[in-house]
Amino acid sequence: MKPTTTFAELAELCQKTNKKIYEIAQEEESSLLECTEQNVRKRVQETLKAMQEAINEGLKSDEKSASKMVGADCAKLKKYYEKNEGLFSQPYQNIIKYALATSEQNARMGKIAACPTAGACGIVPAAMIGIGTYLKVENEILINALLTAGIIGRIISEKTALAGAVGGCQSECGVASAMAAGAVVEILGGNAEQIINAVALALKNILGLVCDPIAGLVEVPCVKRNPFLAIHALTAAELALADIKSFVPADEVVDVLKQIGALMSPTLKESAQAGLATTPSAIKITEELNKTCQK
């Protein structure tokens, strides 16, 4: 089975076969991996388990990363919600916590599932598991959602590399947010058109996001971007479920993502040569870390 390479092709295939996006995704994975669809779902279940474990471990820890820049914020947020009602509803609060927990686990060198990258690892799990847990959905539905997220990421990767060094953080956290938006629409019973529209809505509103990590580490601003972009995904999902459409189709948004990545200065693509990485505070911590490494 030849994999789909565009969202237009995916939408047409869903309409022609009367299948959902996750069904197309598992069929294609089955063909590519030369295994049964049941085995594909078992593999996805393993990834889902790793995501849940990363959230659980992250929620229990306040250990900082080796650089000491990140690692304790999820614990602070938990304490805040224990004492305060907060502005968001329970699922939103959980999503913010889950995204921070996972991303901090990555910074601690803990086990995570890159989706699509390690720097964006908290977005898809937080949105998907946060909504799934709140609604008490069956595990099979979460597998369907993760399959949906997977094919979204793969189709985008057909045109551009999902790496900050190539396209800036729009290609990492931005794509993760689009994947999460599609996954949430699947969980909430949306159709193929709504899922693809959620992808376009999420992605086009994060175009141009640069990758400017302090000291070249996937920590600042990366970790805190994860909860922001997880909530961004929910906004796209709810707009899409209301049949609010992106004026620009998903495939064209992906074309623009690639274009902007090519136009973006190399100093703003994971090189730590501009942006937040060159602020006085960033330069100071970078110099301190370099001295520590030289000892």
pLDDT at 294: 74
Model confidence at 60: pLDDT above 80: yes
More confident residue, 230 or 86: 230
The proportion of the chain whose per-residue pLDDT surpasses 70, expressed as a percent, equals: 100
The tens digit of pLDDT for each residue in 109-143 reads 999 999 999 999 999 999 999 999 999 999 999 99
Q: Where are the alpha helices (DSSP H) in 158-191?
A: 164-167, 173-187
Q: Region 79-102: what's the mean pLDDT?
A: 94
pLDDT band at 2 (very low <50, low <70, confident <90, very high): confident
pLDDT tens digits, one per residue of 14-51: 999 999 999 999 999 999 999 999 999 999 999 999 99
Measuring CA to CA, how many Å separate 86 from each of 60, 75, 132, 221, 230?
A: 21, 15, 21, 23, 17
CATH of 7-294, one of 1.10.760, 1.10.4100, 1.10.540, 3.40.50: 1.10.4100
Q: Is the pLDDT of residue 242 over 90?
A: yes
For the chain, the domains span 7-294
Q: Does the pLDDT at position 295 exceed 80?
A: no
pLDDT mean over 48-74: 97
Q: Is 211 helix (H, G, I), strand (E, B) or coil?
A: strand
Residue 86 has pLDDT above 90, yes or no: no
The C-alpha atoms of residue 23 and residue 112 are separated, in whole angstroms, by 25
Distance CA 236, CA 181 (A): 6
Question: pLDDT confidence of 70, banded at 50, 70, 90?
Answer: very high
Task: State how far the Cα of 217 lies from the Cα of 140, in Å rounded to an integer.
Answer: 36
Instruction: Please count the other Cβ atoms lying within 10 Å of the Cβ belonging to residue 81.
Output: 16
Alpha-carbon span 13 to 22, nearest angstrom = 12
